[in-house]
Amino acid sequence: MALILFAFTGCELRQAMYDQEKYEPLEASNFFADGMTFRQPISGTVARGQLMLDTHFYQGKIDDQLASTLPVEADHELLERGRERYDIFCSPCHDKTGSGNGMIVKRGLKQPPSFHQQRLREIPVGHFFDVMTNGYGLMYSYASRIPVEDRWAIVAYIKVLQHSQNLEIDKLPAEDQRQLQ
């Protein structure tokens, strides 16, 4: 009997700890002068993982201008990752070649611009990063869906798509020219 009473005492104590008086995050409070329990971050502090000093990498800008270079090395691995992420996130609208004839267009929604327009072939790479990060026109922000590294991988892949669809044959090696003819 003593063992059973001891066990129930432990349960009651645990439940009392759970049900203790406490403020919920957005509950009103008379403790603070502003009447709120939720406290704003202390000015000048940065949450863990939020220190983003490299504006080239995190914002796609250099001295408040769109970056014209990638902040990462464009190697085979980056381009493969970019192709994979592009196929998942971008091809439904822009299609797999970047011409803007994705599935959403076939279902009646507005066509996005082709990446092969002269204007978009000449635009700095920071533009594509900025559009993915902040959205533009009908395209919403992908910042919460695509990590920064993957956004740059997609940008690198878009540049490869642009080159692949607009390459002049005489600029290819002789062997590749023979294969195309």
Q: What is the pLDDT of residues 113-166, one digit of tens each?
A: 999 999 999 999 999 999 999 999 999 999 999 999 999 999 999 999 999 887
Is residue 48's pLDDT more than 90? no
Confidence band of 41 (pLDDT split at 50, 70, 90): confident
H/E element, 61: strand 61-62
The answer to which of 1-5, 46-50, 54-58, 60-64 has the lowest mean pLDDT is 1-5
Q: What is the rounded distance in angstroms from the CA atom of residue 164 to the CA atom of residue 144?
A: 30
Name the percent of the chain lying above pLDDT 90: 59
Tokens of 58: 């995190």
Of 162, 157, 177, 176, residue with least CA distance to 79 = 157
> Which ranges in the chain belong to alpha helices (H)?
2-18, 55-59, 76-89, 91-94, 103-106, 118-122, 125-134, 148-165, 174-180
Is residue 65's pLDDT more than 70? yes
Q: What is the pLDDT of residues 13-36, one digit of tens each?
A: 666 667 777 777 788 888 888 888
Q: What is the pLDDT of residues 78-106, one digit of tens each?
A: 999 999 999 999 999 999 999 999 999 99
* Domain boundaries 65-168, corresponding CATH code: 1.10.760.10
The answer, as to whether pTM is greater than 0.95, is: no
Residue 126 backbone phi and psi in degrees, to 5:
-60, -25
Which residue type, as a one-letter code, is found at position 90?
A: C
